[in-house]
Amino acid sequence: MEENENCNNQLQEILNKTNKNDYILFSRDLNARIGNAEIHNTVGSFGELVTNTNGLKLRGFATYNNIKIMNSLYKHNTIRTHTRSARNSNIIIDYFMANRKLSELFLDVRF
């Protein structure tokens, strides 16, 4: 848990130093499950049903930094959305994220 907090803090420090006019894109396995409750211009409704603590943190981080979680914005067949299978369930823990400026250039995102 502490390692995850350090990663989040480092990522926030990097974003704080980044020119807001730049294109920002990052992808990572965050062990976060963000659910499918939509947040306007941040999280779409095409995620999975489950939300976990890391997912709530990621949702807050994305909202605070005007970042879109791109995976959740596009409807796909289940096989194209889930990044891991465990205990007879498919889960999404890897995410593509982009600032609003760059996100407008995307037509689709899938793994």
Residue 65 DSSP class: T
pLDDT value for 87: 62
Residue type, 107: L
The average confidence (pLDDT) of the chain is 81
Model's pTM, two decimal places? 0.79
- Which sequence spans correspond to the domains of the chain? 2-103
Q: Specify the residue for token string 């894109």.
A: 25
Q: How far apart are CA 88 and CA 95, in angstroms?
A: 21
pLDDT, one tens digit per residue, over 16-64 is 999 989 999 988 777 788 888 899 988 888 878 888 898 899 999 999 9
**2-103 is a CATH 3.60.10.10 domain:** yes
pLDDT value for 66: 93
